[in-house]
């Protein structure tokens, strides 16, 4: 649920006396938090001030997020119900109660998505001469062109399946487009089952752009479903098509690997990946207009109920419209382009190693370029003085220049060690492919530690200088992914600090070798020290507050769920510590409850860029300790992942992180959503007479090159 407010209104006295007894639990449910986040993203698609094609993109992002929500979170809820997990813990809802609440809100979000598409975006796009033509809109010339396209490009790939005892219902791939066809008549063999399934191959484009000579306009599109519905009668010669109804199923896509049974993680994963497409079904999407008897038939085939059925007034997969903005060259309908800037230390191109030796370098993406990271690897691969390169890989993409430089370095005889996380969700296949390519050229490829995902973002280069070896390190809050570096906000630190480099090298040793964890000088590392150090830092602020000293915690992250950290923050608030939380996604902590969390504020910024950086600030009596981390405050990040958290030691860079990463977000009054104690988010508005502030727009103006 999302509301808009101009400013926080005072609570009545009765409300101010509220205690935790009036709430279901001390913590908000993760599932409802994810849906609340998608409501905030959906609000971007509704924002009349945003460029039109960007609004369409946000609408598609909601669909992509919802797909993953069903594939992972709803699938888990259904498993809990199946296993009899019906007793809510600590007053929380049972799995069945939570599923009912989630189902109701998910249906509401989907309905609102299609309302926005049909009532706002499509009409406004049509006014800009960007149209999605339905069959009733086709001119005779367009009809002929599309019919030829169907025969030429589609018929050879289509395999219609008529359902009868010899042809059971086909296996339907996860999230694939399918058409249920109602038929009348008998075929050449005298069969008359009345139902067939046409599966759309994934090779076929879901959006077809009509040639300008055919449409008379530059940007007229036709959806694949429209073409299939119009012409698939040709697949059933001599029979009458009574109706063609697009549908899509979503399946449980979490991978199950038994840590105790795994002898070779790579082999086990290769065996498990194909099954992802055929997990248990959790959702059925059907285009409106499908008759009830066909809906019942499909629900039966997938062992689903009406709660799992989503009737959609439009394409059953809005994610496929994500490509549309890239097909349209209308700058006024998109965010203005920008050129990422560079820190002053790197404005003069040259030897990166020499620049890093002069002092630590901070990169703030996407406002500042990711190219220095790429150049560091490029120079390291080519430099004869570089003897070794070590890097972690979590998400890097299928076409990565960074991976190519690692391959080049290995070909040149350098010691290249790559810790590839094979279980990076939905990137497993890409990472398997890179692992194979790296091994082919002699790189050392390891897969971290079974049972612990390697989520730390680290690059270490060893270079021979003046008769000795010197290390250089890049540590980051984000992935080594050139595309997301242009879309996600992240910080990266380039350093030759001997103690930090030694810590990073020690962490690589733990990942690739065996032995006890050595005490590190600066890095906080999961699963060993990060959780206890965060708790200790929070408690130190509490002690300072008890002593009458100023105490302040600012933490920015994607997700806050870990109960012991939340309890420590509750305790700190009760003592008087001011706590500002910038949590983009799910936050289980309830802010603003008198006696428990009245000194805590939770805010979420949703804008042009995905807020992705993890920054932890502790006032510490005026010392101002600042850390950059790969980890959110979640149980998995603290105890089931390998994460790195690095302090920002240079005073000038520390001031930059505080100013750019934290204070700018706290000042934002245009794209900030503030959470109340019920978990409801309110859009923060600039008060009358105040200056409107968008943190992202401000940082673009300050840091980009134009």
Tell me if residue 552 is catalytic: no
β-bridge partners, 556: 582, 615
R_g over Cα of the chain: 27
Nearest-10 Cα torsion for 311, 315, 319, 323: -170
The count of other CB atoms within 10 Å of the CB of residue 494 is 25
Distance CA 370, CA 372 (A): 6
Indicate the DSSP class of residue 394.
S
Contacts of 643 (CB under 8 A, 6+ apart): 455, 456, 525, 526, 530, 629, 630, 631, 637
Question: Which tokens hold the place of 180?
Answer: 């249920």
Q: How many CA atoms lie within 13 A of 623 on its CB side?
A: 13
Which of 220, 364, 365, 455 is an active site residue? 455
Largest CA distance in the chain: 90
SS3 of 607-662: the string is CCCEECCEEEEECHHHCCEEEEECCCECHHHHHCEEEEEEECCCHHHHHHHHHHHH
Beta strands 415-420 and 386-393, pairing class: parallel
- Phi/psi region, residue 188 (left: phi>0; alpha: psi -120 to 50; beta: rest), is alpha
Nearest to 287 by CA among 222, 229, 206: 229
- What does the chain come to in residues? 706
C-alpha–C-alpha distance, residues 429 and 276, integer Å: 12
Distances (CA, A) of 56 to 34, 39, 41, 275: 20, 15, 11, 32
CA atoms of 348 and 529, how far apart (whole Å): 39
Q: Pairing relation of β-strands 681-683 and 2-4?
A: parallel
CB-side neighbour CA atoms (13 Å) of 488: 20
Give the tokens for residue 268.
């086990």
Residues with active-site annotation: 455
């Amino acid at each position: 649920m999302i509301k808009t407010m101009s400013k926080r209104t005072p609570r009545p006295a009765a409300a101010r006396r509220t205690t935790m007894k009036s709430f279901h639990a001390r913590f908000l449910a993760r599932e409802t938090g994810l849906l609340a986040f998608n409501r905030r993203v959906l609000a971007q698609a509704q924002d009349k001030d945003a460029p039109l094609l960007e609004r369409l993109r946000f609408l598609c992002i909601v669909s992509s997020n919802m797909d993953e929500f069903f594939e992972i979170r709803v699938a888990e809820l259904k498993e809990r119900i199946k296993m009899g997990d019906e007793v809510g813990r600590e007053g929380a809802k049972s799995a069945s109660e939570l599923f009912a609440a989630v189902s109701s809100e998910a249906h509401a979000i989907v309905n609102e998505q299609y309302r926005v598409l049909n009532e706002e975006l499509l009409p406004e796009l049509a006014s800009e001469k960007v149209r999605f033509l339905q069959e009733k809109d086709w001119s005779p010339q367009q009809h002929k062109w599309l019919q030829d396209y169907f025969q030429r490009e589609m018929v050879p790939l289509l395999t219609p399946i008529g359902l009868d005892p010899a042809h059971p219902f086909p296996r339907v791939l996860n999230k694939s487009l399918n058409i249920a066809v109602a038929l009348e008549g008998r075929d050449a063999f005298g069969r008359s089952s009345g139902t067939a399934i046409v599966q759309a191959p994934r090779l076929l484009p879901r959006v077809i752009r009509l040639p300008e000579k055919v449409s008379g306009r530059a940007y007229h599109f036709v959806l694949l479903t429209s073409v299939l519905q119009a012409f698939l009668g040709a697949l059933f010669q001599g029979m009458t098509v009574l109706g063609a109804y697009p549908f899509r199923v979503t399946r449980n896509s979490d991978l199950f690997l038994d840590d105790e049974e795994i002898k070779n993680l790579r082999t086990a994963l290769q065996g498990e990946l194909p099954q992802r497409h055929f997990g248990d079904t959790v959702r059925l999407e059907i285009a409106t207009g499908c008759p009830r008897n066909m809906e019942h038939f499909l629900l039966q085939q997938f062992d689903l109920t009406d709660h799992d059925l989503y009737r959609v007034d439009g394409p059953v997969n809005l994610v496929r419209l994500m490509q549309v903005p890239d097909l349209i060259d209308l700058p006024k309908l998109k965010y203005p382009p920008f050129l990422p800037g560079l820190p002053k230390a790197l404005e003069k191109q040259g030897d990166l190693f020499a620049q890093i030796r002069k002092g630590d370098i901070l990169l703030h993406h996407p406002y500042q370029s990711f190219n220095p990271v790429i150049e560091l690897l490029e120079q390291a691969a080519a430099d004869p003085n570089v003897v070794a390169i070590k890097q972690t890989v979590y998400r890097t993409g299928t076409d990565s220049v960074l991976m190519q430089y690692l391959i080049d370095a290995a070909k040149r005889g350098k010691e290249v060690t790559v810790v590839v996380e094979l279980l990076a969700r939905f990137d497993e296949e890409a990472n398997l492919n890179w692992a194979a390519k790296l091994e082919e050229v002699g790189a050392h490829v390891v897969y971290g530690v079974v049972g612990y995902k390697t989520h730390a973002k680290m690059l270490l280069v060893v270079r021979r200088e003046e008769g000795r070896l010197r290390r250089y390190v890049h540590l980051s809050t984000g992935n080594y992914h050139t595309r997301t570096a242009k879309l996600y906000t992240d910080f990266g630190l380039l350093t030759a600090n001997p103690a930090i480099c030694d810590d990073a090298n020690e962490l690589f040793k733990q990942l690739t070798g065996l032995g006890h964890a050595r005490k590190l000088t600066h890095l906080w590392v999961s699963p060993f020290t990060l959780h206890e150090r965060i708790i200790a830092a929070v408690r130190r602020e509490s002690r300072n507050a008890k002593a009458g000293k100023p105490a302040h915690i600012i933490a920015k992250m994607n997700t806050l769920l870990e109960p012991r950290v939340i309890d420590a923050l509750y305790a700190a608030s009760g003592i008087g510590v001011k706590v500002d939380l910038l949590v983009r996604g799910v936050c289980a902590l309830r802010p603003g409850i008198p006696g428990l969390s009245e000194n805590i504020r939770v805010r979420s910024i949703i804008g042009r860029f995905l807020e992705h950086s993890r920054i932890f600030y502790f006032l510490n009596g005026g010392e101002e300790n600042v850390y950059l981390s790969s980890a959110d405050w979640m149980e998995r990040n603290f105890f089931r992942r390998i994460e790195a958290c690095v302090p920002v030691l240079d005073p000038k860079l520390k001031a930059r992180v505080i100013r750019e990463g934290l204070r700018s977000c706290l000042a934002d009054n245009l794209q900030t959503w503030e959470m109340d104690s019920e978990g409801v988010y309110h859009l923060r508005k600039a008060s009358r007479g105040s200056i409107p502030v968008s943190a992202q727009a401000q940082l673009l103006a300050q840091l980009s090159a134009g």
